[in-house]
Structure formats: structure tokens, C-alpha cells
Amino acid sequence: MNDESARKRYWLDDPANVRRVIWGLVGVCALVVIADLLYEKHVHYGFQHWLGFDAVFGFASCVFLVLAAKQLRKILKRGEDYYD
Amino acid sequence: MIESLPPGLVLVLGALLVPLLRGRLRQALLLSLPVLGFVQLWLLPEGLIRSVDFFGYPLVAVRVDALSKAFGYVFYIAALLNTIYALHLKDGLQHVSALVYSGAAIAAVFVGDLISLFVYWELTSIASVFLIWARRTERSSRAGMRFLLVQVSSGVLLLAGAILHFTETGSLAFDHLGLVSLGTGLILVSFGIKAAFPLLHNWLQDAYPEATVTGTVVLSAFTTKLAIYALARGFAGTEILIPIGATMTAFPIFYAVIENDLRRVLSYSLNNQVGFMVVGVGIGTEMAIDGAVAHVFAHVIYKALLFMSMGAVLLRTGTIKATKLGGLYKSMPWTTCFCVVGAASISAFPLFSGFVSKSLILTAAADEHHTITFLVLLFASAGVFHHSGIKIPYFAFFAHDRGLRVKEAPLNMLLAMAAASALCIGIGVYPDPLYRLLPFTVSYDPYTTTHVVTTLQLLFFSALAFTVLMLTGLYPPERESINLDFDWTYRHALPALGSFLTRTAGAHSAALKEAGRRVLGRALERFTQLHTPPNILGEPWPPGPTAMWAALLLAAYLLLYFL
């Protein structure tokens, strides 16, 4: 059974399908920003009214988070047996 | 008889029967206890108070109100889910430990005085450590000891604070306390340790990933959430909690990004989620408290679900390191689905439980004009999707196929995950029953166009950021490593300092002895002088502060002894 499932090709094994998923994500991202034009926003702060505020904030937050964590690793990383 | 039993004790007493039974009978007992407890709680009327006399002082053994009931219900649900998840286990120790621990946590939310709270507070600590030790490795035994020390210290601080508070006010009642004196300050620190405040947090990430497959799931539900209950009861509206909570939401997620042990990643994100609740308690408005309680309810279930899915991976593959995992969706499709449901819930996707609970806290923060806090929480929301929503499922089940071909998780584990998933989606789609359970039952509609669209923007663009960073190779690759955190101070720096001092002292022992004799002689002289009236130490001391100092010294001694 194991050999059989190891040989089996899954949908995501095809790089073309992975590309489809990525383009799908890009499409959804575009849609949710365009959606901002179609309704009246009820928010607390002026800056939240900007077109796609949450989109930009989310993207920037994650890039900052990952790049900052990458720098932190330079200081904090130790071998797995550090405390042993 | 069962109605007169304080809530939670049905689990503690039932645990005593576990060693006597085997096989199906034991499983039936394990499953029936949380159900029995839940029904008992259901029947208890709100407003019920039952006092017992303790050396002439009335202790409130049972106090039932909306706040305690909400915590009681979700703790029983967690206890039942955990039991189903661990049903295949033959290890009686873990079953007993889990039952006593959950029962003590439930009992703790239904007491009305600080002494009873202390008793159950310590019982949760002692019972829970066996879930770590039950892994029966050198590593888990040491991690468990560190965990126990911190937890017991939290209890000692609670007792010291309670005694001091009693001498100042003459009351042991566990109602709103506020940060008004040294006594209540000690109590706040005690709660803060269990809630894993920044710099008091490291016991969590240190110990939880070292527990057994099922033990980590149990641990994730109760300890920190009991602390949130205690904070909501005693310190609602205490402003210092707002920056503390905001720090908790933001600071652990940097670690979560670079951590390799996926159960440790989840521990960091647990810390981050509890931060949202602490902010809610700190804001203290009706909506904020309701938000904190709603978030506890949703969180206990989705966090358990995420730990369950990672537990199943650990059980089947023997590892939980991101560097060794990947492609498991092929052999564990059900576990993958359930993990994704947990990931969507913690990320607060519309139609999942986090969406209807977390936004109460963010709205309350904005209503009260805590702009910076609001932005930090928004940053943390994007971050949590990044490391819990994407990283966990991606590295375990997708990413590089490492050729691992294992069996799907055992049936009972799948059932527990399915039930937890159903609750996550159920709460997300139909939040009204949850909202009705909340202490202030605020009216709130999470499904406004603005909320749905802005949330989707935040989440999809976080996913886009992850994709871009992956494709450009900027994303830090997984590495077989650990990252230094605050536990470095007591696991490395202090012992190193200690051994340095011992070595130095050994090298100069003769001179030191001579100096010691001189200092001691002088101290003795001064001591005799001070203890003769009218000097300060010649007077009798009031018992409250003395007891407090004795308790603090004991805690310090314990810590130093074991390190």
C-alpha cells in the first residue's frame, strides 16, 4: 500500500496546479480590494477609510514580521543541544 | 447528591476510580465524567452561593454567576474533547492527571474566596505536571520540574498576596480587587505568571511542547485560561493590562516564525492569543469583557484542535520538527482538513469561531480610543494568520514531500478533531448561543460588510506576503535549532554564574573563611543589639507581613534550590 501511495500523483504535485493556486490567490486579493469601492465603510478611524487599508497593513505587517524575525535569528539561534 | 458537589469535583473524585477499572469500563467512566459535570453545571442556578465555615471565617465554596458559568461550560467541553482524543491511551497516570487537573481548574472558577482559589490553583499545578512527566524522558522530567517550580511560585505569591490583602481589608472575598495595594499587586503578579505575561511567559513554551501527545492538548486548555478568568474577576479595567496584553500579542509571534518545533510554534501563538484576552480584561468595558470571555471560549476549542492535529502528526511520524515534516496531506488527509479548520479559526476567518470573538476586543479597543493598541492587535492578527494559519498546516502537511507515508490518526483522535472542528464552524456560523452565554450579553453583529471585507483583505494579503516571501526565497528556511528566550536567564546565565562563584570561592577558600568569620561575628553583635528593645526588631511584628515575607522567602528558596 505504501509503495502505491508513494507513486500516486496528487493534484498539487503538478507545478502547473501550484501556479494556479497562486494566481487564484492573487485574483482573490484583487477582488477584496475592489470590493472596498462597492460599499459604505463603517470604521472607527479616518485612516481605515483609505482604499485597501487592511490589505496594505496586512501585507506590510507580514513582510516586517518575517524579515525582523529573520534578523532576530542571527542573535537567538543555537544548536538543538544547547541546554543539554 | 451530585447537586451538592462543588462544580469540577466530579472530575477530581471520578479520577480516583480510574485505576480500579480497565478496558471498556474505564473508557465509559472517562467519557461519562465530563458529561455528568456539564449537566450538573447546566442545572446550577446563577446567583447560587454556598459558604462553609473555616476556623470561624466563612469561605465561599461555591459561587455561580454568568462569568464562572461561561468558563465552566467551555472547560467541560474541553475536558470531553480531550478525553475522546486520549481514549486509546492505556496509561492511567495521564487519565488521572488530566481529570484532576481539569476538575481543579473548573472548581477554581466557582469559588468565591482567595483561600479556596489558592487551593485549586496549586492543585492544577501539581496535577498538570504529570502530563509532562508522563513522557518519561530525561528532557521532559527536567522541563516538568521547571514548569512545576514556576507554577508553585505563582501559588505562593497568590497566598502571600491574599494574606496581605486580608490584613489590610479584613476580607478574603474574591471579587473585584484592582491594583490598589502591595497585596493585590502580588495577586496580580501571581495571575500574570499563569497567564504568561511577557518575561513571565517562558514556562509555557518551555514545558508544553515537552508533554505527551495528548498531554499538550490538555495543558493548552486550562492553565492560562484559568488565569484569564482570575484576571477578569479581580482586575477588570486595570489599565496596565492593556499594554501588557498588547505586548503579549506581538512579541511571541516573532519567535513563532523562526521556531522549528511545531508544537512550540503553537505555544508561542497560544501566548499571543491570550494577549488579546488580557487586553480585553484591561479595557474592562462590557463589550471588552464579553470579548475576552468569548475569545476564551473560541480559543480553548481551536487551540485544542490545532494541538490535536500536531499531536496526531507526532504520534504517527515520531517527530514534530518542521525540518523533518511535509507532504503529510497525502497520508493524513482528515487530520489535514481538521488542522486547516483550526488554522482558519485562530486566524479569525469569516464563518470560523475566531472571527466572531476576537473582533469584540478590537472593537472595544477602538471604541475606547486605544489607537496604538488597536494597531498592535491588527498587526498581531495578521501575524497569527501567518504563523498559525499558514505556517503550521503548510510545513506539516504541504511544503516539501519528505516521502513520509504513515497511517491516518486513530479513529478516536479523528472523532475528537471532528467534534472540535464542528464547534469551531458552528460558533463561527451561528454565534448567538455563545453571545448569550457572555456575562454582559452585549449585542454585536460580526457579519457586517465592513468587517467581512476588511478581515478578508488583511488575511488574503498576509497570505500573499507569505507566498511572495517564499517565491523570492526571502522566507527564513526551517533550521534544526532552538532560539534563546527568557528562560536562558534561569537555564543558562544563573547556573553559569553560580558555578563561576563556586569555582572562585573554592580557589580562595582560606581567605574567604577568615573573612566570613569576621563578617559573621560583626553581624551577630549587631543582631543582638537590634533585638533588644527599644530597637525595631525587638518589637513584635504584625503577622500579615511576616507571613508574606516567609512565603516569599520560601518561594525564592525553592527556586534557587532547584535551579
Residues of A in contact with B465 (CB under 8 A): 58-59, 61-63, 66
Q: Which residue reads 465603510 in cell numbers?
A: A41
Per CB-CB distance under 8 Å, the chain B contacts of A65 are 253-254, 257, 379, 382-383, 386
Q: Do B330 and A58 touch (CB under 8 A)?
A: no
Which pLDDT does position B402 carry in this prediction?
A: 86
Q: Is B46 exposed, middle or buried (0-12, 13-18, 19+ CB in 10 A)?
A: exposed
Looking only at the bridges linking them, the beta strands covering B57-63 and B482-483 are unpaired
Strands B49-54 and B57-63, how do they pair? antiparallel
Peptide bond connecting B58 to the previous residue in cis, omega within 30 degrees of 0: no
How many CB pairs below 8 A link A and B?
155
pLDDT surpassing 60 at residue A5: no
Give the chain A residue whose CA is nearest to the CA of B492: A83
The C-alpha cell at B533 is: 528593645
Cα–Cα distance between B559 and A19 in angstroms, integer?
A: 55
CA B518/CA B539 separation, integer angstroms: 28
Residue of A nearest to B480 (CA): A80
Cross-chain Cβ contact A12/B403 below 8 Å: no
Residues B351-386 as b or e (16 or more Cβ within 10 Å = b)? ebbbbbbbbbbbbbbbebebeebbbbbbbbbbbbbb
Nearest to B467 among A12, A25, A44 (CB): A25
Average pLDDT rounded to a whole number, residues A21-33: 95
**8 A C-beta contact, residue B349 and residue B457:** no
User: CA nearest B454 in A: which residue?
Assistant: A54
Q: Where are the alpha helices (DSSP H) in B472-542?
A: 487-488, 494-507, 509-530
> Does B457 contact A33 at a Cβ distance shorter than 8 Å?
yes
Buried b (16+ CB within 10 A) or exposed e, B251-269: bbbbbbbbbbbbbbbbbbb
Mutation choice for A interface testing from B464, B480, B491 by most A CBs within 10 A: B464
Q: What is the pLDDT of residue A1?
A: 44
Span A14-33, mean pLDDT?
A: 94
CA angle A61, A65, A71 (to 5 degrees): 145
Which of A58, A67, A72 faces B462 most closely, judged by CB atoms? A58
Do the chains contact at B405 and A45, CB–CB below 8 Å? no
Q: What are phi and psi of B32, to 5 degrees?
A: -75, -30
- Residue in B449, B476, B491 nearest the CB of A73: B476
Residue B477 DSSP symbol = P
Residue B232's pLDDT is what? 97
Under a CB-based contact definition with an 8 Å cutoff, are residues B281 and B288 in contact?
yes
Contacts of B388 (CB under 8 A, 6+ apart): B256, B265, B266, B269, B306, B343, B346, B347
As a whole number of angstroms, the distance between CA A38 and CA A76 comes to 46
For residues B374 and B454, the answer to whether their CB atoms sit within 8 Å is no
CA distance B393 to B127: 31
Interface predicted TM-score (ipTM) of this complex, two decimals: 0.92
- Give first-to-last CA distance, chain B, whole Å: 46
C-alpha cell read off for B451: 468587517
Nearest CA among B379, B452, B377 for reference residue A36? B452
Q: Which of A61, A71, A72, A84 to mutate to test the interface with B (most CBs of B within 10 A)?
A: A61
Alpha-carbon distance B353 to B341, whole Å?
A: 10
Residues of chain B with pLDDT under 50: none
Residue B386 per-residue DSSP state: I
Instruction: Locate B62 and state its grid cell.
Output: 461555591
Q: A81 vs chain B: nearest CA distance in angstroms?
A: 8
Gap from B383 CA to chain A (nearest CA, Å):
6
Interface probe, candidates B462, B469, B486, B487, chain A, greatest A C-beta count within 10 A: B462
Name the residue in chain A with its Cα closest to that of B452. A32
- Specify whether the CB–CB gap between B269 and B254 falls below 8 A: no
CA distances from B335 to B313, B379, B393 (A): 8, 29, 10
Q: How far away is chain A from the Cα of B465, in angstroms, using its nearest Cα?
A: 5
H helices, E strands: number in chain A:
3, 1
Write the pLDDT tens digit of every residue in A40-50.
888 889 899 89
pLDDT digits (tens, 9 = 90+) for B407-454: 999 999 999 999 999 999 999 999 999 999 999 988 899 999 999 999
What is the DSSP code (8-state) at residue A34?
Answer: H
B-chain residues within 8 Å CB-CB of A33? 457
pTM score? 0.91
Cα B77 versus chain centre, distance: 16
Residue type, B145: M
| Closest residue to B450, CB basis, from A25, A41, A80 | A41
Among B253, B449, B480, the residue with its CB nearest the CB of A39 is B449
Per-residue confidence (pLDDT) for residue B538, from 0 to 100 = 61
B201 and B179 in contact (C-beta within 8 Å)?
A: no
In angstroms, the separation between the Cα of residue A18 and the nearest Cα of chain B is 11
- List CB contacts of B78: < 8 A, sequence separation 6 or more: B102, B221, B222, B300, B301, B304
Amino acid letter, residue B466: F
